[in-house]
Amino acid sequence: MTRSSGFTLLELLVAIVVTGVVALLVYGIVGVALDTEARVTAQRDVLQREIAFKAVLAEALRTVRQADLAQPETFLLEDGDVIAGPPRDRLSFVTAGGTPPLTADADWNVTVEATDQGLTLAAYPQGLAAPQVTVLRLPSVTGLHAEIVMPGRVQPRLPGAMAPLPSPPALLSLVFWDAEGPIGAPMLVAPRVGGYP
């Protein structure tokens, strides 16, 4: 008996099963790759938002305005430590701006504070006909601990105390917090008196 050319039924079934197994493996690998890409993209977006927020905050602090008769207190640090949870310090100051979104065409009243919705930087321009409020927010940061650093001595702080200063401090330490504790190393900023580079 001669065999005709072609595939047997068993060979076709084996080929279909092997193809199905390979397709399932590829589908699983592609699904994991897409999930990983989405997580990495989300983490990158959060990191970029953090970097941009810190850059705007650092530049605003570096261009703090000197006090004058119209505004004798241009720098205010309110201690917002709470019994449980992250610290909720509040920082208010007047800055010359210079880095978008805080443009150099006006002085800006800036308030930085931590809330349940995240760390918020709210800036109000002074002297513009139609002032636009600028708000930047870091949802992942729920606490802020701000401290004036004076080389060689410790700056005492009382809970709820306000420390208005006629001029910006020489060095300011900012520690960002989330629900688990401090995030990274303190951000150290040396404000320039007068708000000019």
pLDDT in tens, 97-119: 778 888 888 888 999 999 888 99
Q: Which amino acid is at 149?
A: V
**Mean pLDDT in residue range 31-43:** 94
Average pLDDT over residues 66-83: 69
Q: Is 179 inside a domain boundary?
A: yes
Domain-located, residue 1: no
Q: Give me 68's structure tokens.
A: 């004058």
Residue 83's pLDDT band, with cuts at 50, 70 and 90, is confident
Residue 39 pLDDT > 50: yes
Q: What is the DSSP letter of 137?
A: E
The 8 Å CB, 24+ separation contacts for 103-106 are 106/131
Assigned domain for 4 exists:
no
pLDDT tens-digit map of 120-132: 999 998 877 777 8
- Is 13 among the domain residues? yes
Domain that holds residue 40: 9-197
In total, how many domains does the chain have? 1
What tens digit of pLDDT does each residue of 158-190 get?
Answer: 444 555 565 667 788 899 998 888 988 999 888
- The per-type count for the chain, helices as H runs and strands as E runs, is 1, 9
Q: Is residue 3 part of a domain?
A: no
Of 82 and 180, the one with more pLDDT: 180
pLDDT band at 84 (very low <50, low <70, confident <90, very high): confident
Domain-located, residue 169: yes
